[in-house]
Amino acid sequence: MIIELRNVTKKFGELTALDHVDLGVEKGDIFTVVGPNGSGKTTLLRIVAGIESPTSGDMYFNGERVDKYGLSAVRRNCTLVFQHIALFNTTVHKNIAYGLKLRGHAEKEVDEKVKEVLEIAKLQGYEKRWARKLSGGEQQRVSLARALALDTEVLLLDEPTANLDPRNASIIEETIFHVNREWGTTVVMATHNMFQAKTLANKAVLLIGGRIAHVGTPQEILGAPSDQLASFAKLENVFSGVSKVLEGGTSVIDLGGDVRIEAAVRRAGEITVFVRPEDIILSKDQVVSSARNVLKGVVTEVSDFGDTVNLRVDVGRDFAVQITKRSFNEMQLNIGSKVFLTFKATAVRTV
């Protein structure tokens, strides 16, 4: 186990940010911390990064208890990318090279590493551009590339795609997946994005009020979202519309944009629903089935995660869909492909 927290409590005056937290992160994990604002996610990441010390309890790194003398080893091997970006007022190259030069790397080695991480973050050609003049999403990718250049064992990410446009968010997700798979980097990530957690992570923890409410796989924690989870979590395929009850016991919901879906609920009036991306069948031809919802659309975005591919499809409203890489290749899909989305009325859940 590369990181372990045992009975960790962190107080700031009268405020208890973390309350007797126990968790373990295995080497090579992508570990997701899910929770509302103020739940202690950022404090947890700062403790793991060696920026904050627990008020009580212990942290272990690679099996060794971390005390004030061991903090330097933690800081050398863990890099935290903050939600709020802080780039130097200079070029992209100099921003990324800064940490490497501080650690005494030779100029040639620095240039090679900067080039490598720019390619991973899809920032080739940005070397001489002024970092603070880039878009918010591009700045976040520079911040991530700067962290990757240090090649630490653990990468800590605080809401890495919060408030970003879909393209930049997709690039960041692919970058996280790449360094975990190809470099073996352990990733601990705080996020509100449920689709992101389920796509990237192999283990997750739900943190509420500084306490761990649940630990397990993302599917176990997020597969059937509770009212508490839905109240703060960013779920994919969330739509608000006007519902009308049908004679058969279901309801038809007008989502706008000439999109109507049928749901296995009996509720009239304004309603908010969501459909899990993995509950949607995507095909190039219309599927003959008992499913009540068949929508025709166009693929607008593709994100490759190895065994799975995430797609965004415009059917009049924007839907996120997850399929296997094999299915993606067999259907020869790409941006602009015309497809059908099929899902059952029971797959439409209320928030």
Q: How far apart are CA 284 and CA 337, in angstroms?
A: 8
Higher pLDDT, 159 or 36: 159
321 neighbors 282 (Cβ within 8 angstroms): yes
Note the pLDDT tens digit of each residue in 17-29.
999 999 999 999 9
Mean pLDDT of 312-327: 93
pLDDT at 297: 97
When pLDDT is cut at 50, 70 and 90, the band that residue 68 belongs to is: confident
The DSSP output letter for 289 is: S
The DSSP output letter for 302 is: E
The DSSP output letter for 193 is: B
pLDDT at 306: 79
With CA atoms as reference, report the closest residue to 157 among 39, 12, 30.
30
When pLDDT is cut at 50, 70 and 90, the band that residue 274 belongs to is: confident
* Phi, psi (rounded to 5 degrees) for 213: -85, -30
With CA atoms as reference, report the closest residue to 167 among 304, 299, 301.
301
Q: 179-205 b/e with 16+ CB inside 10 Å = b?
A: bbeeeebbbbbbbbbbbbbbbbbebbb
Q: Is the pLDDT of residue 87 over 90?
A: yes
Q: How far apart are CA 215 and CA 206, in angstroms?
A: 6
Q: Which residue has the tokens 């700045």?
A: 139
Quote the mean pLDDT of the chain: 91
Judging by DSSP bridges, how do beta strands 203-208 and 30-34 pair with one another?
Answer: parallel
Q: Provide DSSP, 130-191.
A: BGGGS-HHHHHHHHHHHHHHT--SEEEEESTTTT--HHHHHHHHHHHHHIIIII--EEEEE-
Mean pLDDT of 290-295: 93
Distance of CA 192 to the CA centre of its chain: 7
Note the pLDDT tens digit of each residue in 210-234.
999 889 988 787 655 566 666 666 6
Note the pLDDT tens digit of each residue in 118-159.
999 999 999 999 999 999 999 999 999 999 999 999 999 999
What domains appear along the chain, each with residue ranges and CATH number? 3-230 (3.40.50.300), 238-350 (2.40.50.100)
Distance of CA 220 to the CA centre of its chain: 17
* Phi, psi (rounded to 5 degrees) for 165: -70, 160
Q: Side chain identity at 69, as an amino acid letter?
A: Y
> How is the chain split among helix, strand and coil, in percent rounded to 5?
30, 35, 35
Q: Is the pLDDT of residue 76 over 70?
A: yes
pLDDT at 341: 97
Q: What pairs with residue 263 in β-bridges? A: 251
Q: Is the pLDDT of residue 15 over 70?
A: yes
pLDDT at 350: 81
